[in-house]
């Protein structure tokens, strides 16, 4: 496939991930996945490891795991590949073809994950998915069941200054105008949930940012978009490594 053909075909896809396809061609992803990669603490050497990428979408993290030497990578998704949202599997399939990748794929719901269905993996990536789950604790049970060593989890958090475990419920489109965002725990709740489903050690790799930053951001969003600053300042994102 020539660079011109890659560029033409890539332009026909709506991308969520920012993926370097070579030849100076980088997909115009909505999300800055290279920046996110620097935050999640993915081990630089995955030689001999098996990796499961849950909610893979365009496959950026699957392909990165392959680049870092993983022996086997399985990318799984459902909603973003064939669900009601704007995502499709076109980006993943095209990027895999262009990159000459051997990443495997399987369309499966998170709640259907089980060792007898997909096996168990040394490293499991669960990035930006938890708050889309109607049943988050059950989802984490399923994720834990297929994790052999390490779970890398990135998610939104709310009520970040509360020490008591609490979870915010969004029955409509209150969170980022997205009706598929349902539950957002605070850090204390997230860590407690992970321990409940069987992880023995949990490390916070990226903490929610401090109050001054969150207040400044909340006021800016309030002025620009008319959002409630009181609710906005309590939210941020977190990355944790949970070990079996």
pLDDT digits (tens, 9 = 90+) for 130-142: 999 999 999 999 9
The CA angle 181-198-58, to the nearest 5 degrees, is 40
Q: What is the predicted pLDDT for the residue at 234?
A: 80
Q: What parts of the chain have a pLDDT lower than 50? A: none
Q: What pTM did the predictor assign? A: 0.92
Q: How far apart are CA 116 and CA 101, in angstroms?
A: 25
Q: What is the predicted pLDDT for the residue at 175?
A: 82
Q: What is the predicted pLDDT for the residue at 215?
A: 64
Q: What is the predicted pLDDT for the residue at 178?
A: 87
Query: Which is it for strands 25-26 and 20-22: parallel, antiparallel or unpaired?
Result: antiparallel
Q: What is the predicted pLDDT for the residue at 177?
A: 81
Q: How far apart are CA 69 and CA 42, in angstroms?
A: 12
* Contact (Cβ atoms closer than 8 angstroms) between residue 127 and residue 110: no
Domains and CATH numbers, the chain: 3-243 (3.40.50.150)
pLDDT tens figures, 193-219:
999 999 999 999 999 866 666 667 665
Q: Give the residue ranges of DSSP H helices in the chain.
A: 3-11, 33-40, 60-67, 79-82, 90-99, 115-118, 136-145, 187-196, 211-225, 229-232
Q: What are 135's strand-pairing partners?
A: none
């Amino acid at each position: 496939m020539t660079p011109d053909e890659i560029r033409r075909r890539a332009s026909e896809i709506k991308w969520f991930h920012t993926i370097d396809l070579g030849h100076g061609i980088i997909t115009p992803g909505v999300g800055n996945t290279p920046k996110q990669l620097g935050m999640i603490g993915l081990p630089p050497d995955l030689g001999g490891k098996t990796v499961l990428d849950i909610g893979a979408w365009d496959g950026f993290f699957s392909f990165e795991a392959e680049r870092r030497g993983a022996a086997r990578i399985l990318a799984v998704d459902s909603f973003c590949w064939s669900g009601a949202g704007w995502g499709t599997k076109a980006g993943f399939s095209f990027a895999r073809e262009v990159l000459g990748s051997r990443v495997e794929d399987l369309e499966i719901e998170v709640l259907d994950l089980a060792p007898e269905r997909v096996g168990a993996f040394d490293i499991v990536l669960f990035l930006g998915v938890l708050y889309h789950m109607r049943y988050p604790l059950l989802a984490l049970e399923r994720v834990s069941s297929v994790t052999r060593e390490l779970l890398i989890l990135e998610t939104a958090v709310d009520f970040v200054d509360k020490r008591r475990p609490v979870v915010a419920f969004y029955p409509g489109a209150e969170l980022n105008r997205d009706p598929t965002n349902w539950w957002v725990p605070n850090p204390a709740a997230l860590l407690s949930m992970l321990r409940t489903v069987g992880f023995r050690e949990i490390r916070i790799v990226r903490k929610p940012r401090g109050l001054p930053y969150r207040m400044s951001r909340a006021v800016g969003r309030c002025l620009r978009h008319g959002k409630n600053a009181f609710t906005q300042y309590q939210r941020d994102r977190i990355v944790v490594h949970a070990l079996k």
